[in-house]
Amino acid sequence: MTGLSDTPNVSELEKKFVYGGDSHSGGTESPNDQEKPSTIEPRATTKSEEVLPQFRGRVPLTTRCHPELASALKRASLKRQLEGLKKYRIQEIVEEAVEK
């Protein structure tokens, strides 16, 4: 029965969840007391920090595009393959275009 005596005050947990961190006293703060939203600033990251742990190796990504773009990609892929260029797969062409 010790588990029942350790039950936390649910309303306090709800306040912490809604307001973040410490619970606030029901709407008594002034607008100047509220935290201002933080701005997102770019920071230097290493290659390993940019990839989420679940995204290792090749990750399937599906998107829709106009038929003209799909045809152009396929045509470019076939042309590059016939010319013997190293990067001729559609995946490689799209990756290079997105990375630039």
> Which residues form the domain of 81?
65-100
pTM of the model: 0.46
Label residue 77 by pLDDT band (50, 70, 90): very high
pLDDT digits (tens, 9 = 90+) for 28-68: 544 454 555 555 555 555 555 677 777 778 888 898 999 99
- Distance (Å, rounded) from C-alpha 88 to C-alpha 84? 8
pLDDT at 11: 80
Q: Is residue 80 part of a domain?
A: yes
The two counts, helices (H) then strands (E), for the chain are 5, 0
Q: Is residue 21 part of a domain?
A: no
pLDDT digits (tens, 9 = 90+) for 11-24: 877 777 777 765 45
Q: Map tokens 């920090």 to a residue.
A: 49
How many domains does one find in the chain? Answer: 1
Q: Is residue 38 part of a domain?
A: no
Nearest one of 73, 64, 66 to 97, comparing CA atoms: 73
